Structure 1
Amino acid sequence: MRNGLPANERNGGRVLVEALRVNGVDTVYCVPGESYLPVLDALHDTSGIQTIVTRHEGAAANMADAYGKLTGRPGICFVTRGPGATHAANGVHTAREDSTPMILFIGQVDTGFLGREAFQEIDYGQMFGSVAKWVAQIDRIERIPEIVARAFSVALSGRPGPVVVALPEDVLFGSGAVADVPPVRIARAAPAAADMAELRALLAQARRPLVVAGGSGWDAAACAALVRFVTASDLPLAASFRRQDLFDNRDRHYVGQLGLGVSPRLADRVREADLLLVIGARLGEASSSGYTLVESPEPRQTLIHIHADPQELGRVYRPTLPINAGMAQAAAALATLAPIEEPAWRDWTREVRADYERHSTPPPAHPELAGVDLAEVVGWLGKTLPDDAVVANGAGNYTVWVHRFFRYRRPATELAPTNGAMGYGLPAAIAAKLRHPARTVVCFAGDGCFMMYPQELATAVQYGAAVVIVLVNNGMLGTIRMHQEREYPGRISATRLVNPDFVALARAFGAHAERVERSADFPAAFARASEAGVPALIELCADPRQITPQARLD
C-alpha cells in the first residue's frame, strides 16, 4: 500500500505530476487552490520539480511565459478554478501573441457537477477557445498521460503557444493503475532545397534587401547560424517588435527594431527595400506600423517569408516565396547558402547601420528636463551590464527608451510582452533570476506598470530572487496621456496617478530601495542595489512632460 492505495495504483495528481516529470518539467508556478490539492501533494514528494508560489495568478502565468521564452520549453502554471483562471488569462494572452510555449492547468469542479454553474465553474473551452492553441478537459484518470503528452506536443509544435488543461477535482482524487508514456518528440519542418535555391536567386537580384528576424523557436545555435548567413552576404538585419535579443545589436549588420517607437528612418528603409527576407516574424500590427510598412495583401517588396506555422504563410501577406520551416532548420539552411559575391547592397547596409547608430545614441537632455534623464540611464546600463544580463519590462512609454537606447547582445536576454501587457516585467524578471541566479536581471517598470503586480516583491524576497527594479515614476499613465494629447489636446482625463512611497513600500517587503532624482546619482545607486544581495528597487524621478525621447508636453 502507498498513500492508502495498492502499490500499482496512484491518484490523478500523482499521475499528472509524473507526466510532467517525464517531459522534463523542473519548475511550476502557481497560486494554490483546493481544486487541485492532489497535485500539490504529489509535488511535495517530487524533488526534481521546484514549486514557486506567487501572490497573484496573473504573475504566475507571466512567470511561466518568461520561463518559456528563456528555455524554449513550456512554462507550467497551476491555478484554481473560476477567479484563479480569470486572473491567469492575462498570461495566456501574452503567450499567444508572443508565440511562447506554455501550459496552464486549471482546477475544475467535479465532473458530476458540470453544467450546473457549480461553485467557481467555468466552461474553459469557451473562455480560452480563441486565445489558447488547444483547450482540453480530462474526464478520466486513464487519459491524464495522453492529454498531458498532447498538451506538450501542441504547445511546442509549429508556432509555439499556450495550452489550457482543466482538471476536474474527482479525476485528481480518483485512483487507478495508469501507465506512464514516454516524453513527446516534436517534428520540425525544414526548407526544401528548391526553396533555398529560389531564395538565393531572388536575393541575388536585389539591390536593397532587408532581413527581418523575429518570432519564437530560436536557440543559441540558430542565432549563431543567422549571424553567419547575414555576415557572409553583408546583409542588414532588423528585429521585429521586442525580439532585439536575436542578434547582437553591436554587430555592424544590425539596424534596429520594428515596433512601437520605430526609428522613422528605419521605417523609410523598409518602404524603400526591394526585398524583405522575414524569418520567424509574423509582421503583425506593431512590426508593420499598422500594416503600412508592408502592405496587405500584396506587398510592394519581394517578400520571402519563413515561418514555422504553415497557416501563417499567406494569412495576411501574399509572399513571393513562402517557406514553412522551424527556426533552427531555416537558420542552418541559410548558413549553408553560397554567399552573394560582390553584393550590390554594401553601401545600403552601411547606410542603414549608420541610421541605427544615430538613433540609438542618447541625445543631450532637453534644457528644461526636470529629474532623471532616462536616455542617459538606459545608455549607461547598455554599456555597463554584462552581455548575459536579462532585461525585462512590461508596457508603457518608458519602454520606448529601453528599446531605443539599450543594445541587447545575446539570445534570451529580452523579456518583453508583444501584446503590451502592463505588469509583465517584475514577474518575468523574478522567473529569470530564479532560472539564472548568477546573472544580472534588471526589470524596467513605469509607476503604473509596477503597480499591477507590486506584491510579487514578496515572491522575490521569499525565493531569494535578487532582481534590480528600475522604476520610472512620472506620476501618470504616460502612453494613454500621449494618445490623449494627440486626440484631445489639453484635456487630461483618468491618466493622473497618486502613487505610494515606492521606497517605503519596497522596504516593507524586505527589499533594498532608494530614490534617485539626478542622472549623475544613478550609477552609484545601481551599484548599491546590485550588491545588496536582496531584491532592490531604484525609483527614478522622471519629468512628466518628457513623454517620449523626442517629444515633450506643453
Structure 2
Amino acid sequence: MRTVAQAVTRVLADAGVQFGFTVPGESFLGLLDAFERASELTLVSTRHESGAAFMAEAHGKLRGVPAVAMASRGPGATNLSIGVHTARQDHTPMVVLLGQVPSTKLGKDSFQEVDLAAMFRPLASWAEQPTTAAEVPAAVAEAVAQATGPRPGPAVVAVPSDLWDEPFDGELPRPMPQQAPPTPVADLAERVRAAQRPVVIAGARDAGTQQELVATAEALGLGVYTGFRRQDSFPEDHPQYAGHLGLTVPDPQRKALEDADLVVTAGMRLDEVTSQGFRFPLPDQQHVAITANVAETLRELRGSAPARERDWSAAHEAVREYMTPPDTGTGPAVHPTEVVRTIRELAPRDALVTNDAGNFSGFLHRYWCFTEPGTQLGPCNGAMGYAVPSAVSAKLTEPGRTVIAMVGDGGVLMTGQEIETAVRHRAPIVVVVFQNRLYGTIALHQVKSDRQMSAVDIGAIDFASWARGLGAEGRTVNTRDELEPAVRAALSADRPCVLDVRTDPDVLTADARLADFLEE
C-alpha cells in the first residue's frame, strides 16, 4: 500500500513535474524518501531555502510546468517565502510543499510552529493545510491545478509531519486546472483592422509563441514592446520592435505607446513597471488582453484580420539609438557596459542569461539585445539573490545551453553559496559578479534625494578565491585588458566558473555617475 508521500510524488510525476528543490528537514522525511525513489523526479538539495525557491521559480518560467520547492516548518518556510513572492509577482507556476509540526501538536505554539497556510496566503496564489492523511494527495493535486490555472502562480500545501508516512489506499487524484476564457478573435481582428497605431506588449517566452507573434506582427503591421524582464518574448533587432518597458524608458521609446490607439497584451499581466506606474493603457486607448492559448490566438488573428503595413521605423530607430553602447573611454577601469558587450559578442546567440536585481542589471537590459526565446530569467519583483540559484536551475533544466548569471556583489553574497550546488550537480554555469563594493541602487536613491549615503558599503571580497573554495573555477578581472580572455576561458570551462569583475564604483547607471551628485 502507498504512503501519503508516495501518493503525492505519483500525483506530481503524472502532472509532468520533474524537479524538487529543497533544504531537507525532519518534518517531511517521508516526502524526501518518496521523491528520491521516484524515477521520474529529480531531488536537488540546495544550500538555503531561498535558493530552492528561486530554482523552482526559474524552472517554472522556462518550462511552464511547476517545479516543487520544499521546506520545513517555521524557519525553513520563512526562508523560502522570497521565492514564493517572486513567483506570484511574475505569475510563474510553482508548487510549494511544507512540513508542519505533527498534527497532535498543532495550535500549541510548538517548536518552530507557524500557521503556514495563513502566512502564505498573502504571498501565494493559493495555500491550504490538510487536517487528515486522506486529504493530502487531493490537496497537492489542487495545488498543481491552481499553479497552472488561468493566472499561474505559487500554490502552497503545508502537511503535518506525521501524515506523510500514513497509508493511502484511495484513488489517485488528478489536477483539474481551469482554463482562461478564450479571447474573442473576431472582435480583436476588427479592432486591429480599425486601429491606426496598434501595439502589442509581449510577455510569453516560449519559442512557439514568439514565432507566432513575429509572423502576426509582420502580417498585420503591429508594433511590439516587451514587458519588464521579458525581453526574450520578441526579437529586439526586429524592425517592428519598439522597446523594453523596464525601469528607465526614455521618452522617444515611449512615444509609440503613447500614440497607440489599441494596446494588446499577450501572455502577461500589466504589472507596475511594465505599465510605467500603471499609466498605460491610457484612458482613450482600447485594451485587449490575450491570456490563454496565446500562440493559437495570434495565429487565428493573423488569419482573420486584413494584412496591413505600418511604419514603425521611428520607434525602432529610437530603440537602436538607446541600445547602441557608447564610447566608455580607454582607461583601465572596467565599465559595466564593456562587460555586457564583451560577453554578448562571445556567448552563443541562444545563451540563457539570469540577472539579479541592482543597477548593474540596467546595463544588461539595455545592451544585451535579446533575440531568441527562453533566454532571459529575471525577478520581476526585484528580489536580490535570484541570479545564481536560477542559473543553476536553468542549467539543470537545459543542460545543452550556455547559462550565464549576472549579479552584483550584494546579490551574490546572499545566495552565491548555490555555486556549490552547481558544482555538486556538474552544472557548468558562468557567474559574472559586478563588484563595485556598493549597494548601487540604494546609493543612487539616496544621492538623488539629497541624502547622505548610509549602509550601502560592501567590503572588498576576493570572489575568485571564494569560488575556488566552493569547488568552482575563479578568475579576477581588474582591467579592460583582462576582460576578454577571462570571458573566453569561463565560457569554455567544463565546471562552474566565477568571474570577479572589479567595475568602476563611480558608474551607477549608463547615464549617471556618483560623482555628478556628490559634487553638487
Q: 1:304 aligns with which of 287, 312, 318?
A: 287
How many residues were matched structurally? 515
For structure 1, the 5+ residue unaligned runs are 1-8, 309-324
Bigger Cα displacement from structure 2, 43-52 vs 78-87: 43-52
Counterpart-to-counterpart distance in 1, 2:60 and 2:325: 32
Aligned to 1:355: 318
1:290 to 1:126, Cα distance in 2 relative to 1, 3 A: same
One-letter code aligned to 2:287: I
Counterpart-to-counterpart distance in 2, 1:492 and 1:188: 48
Aligned to 2:300: 333
Answer yes or no: is 1:371 the counterpart of 2:333.
yes
Counterpart-to-counterpart distance in 1, 2:271 and 2:31: 38
- SS of 2:164's equivalent in the other structure is helix
CA drift at 1:136: 1.1
Aligned to 2:518: none
1:457-509 per-residue CA deviation (whole Å, 9 max, x = no partner) reads 111111111100111011100000011011125x1111111132111111111
Answer yes or no: is 1:240 the counterpart of 2:227.
yes
CA drift at 1:22: 1.7
CA drift at 1:29: 0.5
1:37-64 per-residue CA deviation (whole Å, 9 max, x = no partner) reads 0111112322221110000000000000
**Correspondences of 1:125-274 after superposition (within 5 Å):** 125-182=117-174, 184=176, 187-192=179-184, 196-214=185-203, 219-274=206-261
Aligned to 1:77: 69
1:157-211 per-residue CA deviation (whole Å, 9 max, x = no partner) reads 111100010011121122242322346465343222xxx3332333333333322
Bigger Cα displacement from structure 2, 35-44 vs 272-281: 272-281
For structure 2, the 5+ residue unaligned runs are 516-520
Bigger Cα displacement from structure 2, 37-46 vs 105-114: 37-46
Aligned to 1:315: none
Answer yes or no: is 1:39 the counterpart of 2:31.
yes
Aligned to 1:526: 487
Instruction: Confirm or deny: 8 A CA contact 2:354 2:387 kept in the other structure.
Output: yes
Aligned to 2:470: 509
Counterpart-to-counterpart distance in 2, 1:93 and 1:475: 27
Aligned to 1:311: none
Aligned to 1:53: 45
CA drift at 1:366: 5.0
Aligned to 1:110: 102
Instruction: Confirm or deny: 8 A CA contact 1:23 1:184 kept in the other structure.
Output: no
Instruction: Confirm or deny: 8 A CA contact 1:104 1:165 kept in the other structure.
Output: yes
Instruction: Confirm or deny: 8 A CA contact 1:370 1:542 kept in the other structure.
Output: no
Instruction: Confirm or deny: 8 A CA contact 1:16 1:144 kept in the other structure.
Output: yes
CA drift at 1:25: 1.8
RMSD: 1.8
One-letter code aligned to 2:365: H
One-letter code aligned to 1:544: P
- SS of 2:76's equivalent in the other structure is helix
Counterpart-to-counterpart distance in 2, 1:262 and 1:541: 27
Bigger Cα displacement from structure 2, 30-39 vs 518-527: 518-527
Q: 1:430 aligns with which of 392, 405, 409?
A: 392
Counterpart-to-counterpart distance in 1, 2:147 and 2:78: 20
One-letter code aligned to 2:161: E
- SS of 2:464's equivalent in the other structure is helix
One-letter code aligned to 1:331: L
- SS of 1:401's equivalent in the other structure is helix
CA drift at 1:134: 0.9
Counterpart-to-counterpart distance in 2, 1:535 and 1:197: 51
- SS of 1:17's equivalent in the other structure is helix
Q: 1:537 aligns with which of 498, 504, 512?
A: 498
Counterpart-to-counterpart distance in 2, 1:500 and 1:154: 43
- SS of 2:117's equivalent in the other structure is helix
Dislocated runs of 4+, deviation >6 Å? none
One-letter code aligned to 1:88: L
One-letter code aligned to 1:430: V
Instruction: Confirm or deny: 8 A CA contact 2:408 2:433 kept in the other structure.
Output: yes
Q: Given the two structures, how large is their TM-score scaled by the length of structure 2?
A: 0.95
Percent identity over the alignment is 36
Counterpart-to-counterpart distance in 2, 1:356 and 1:522: 27
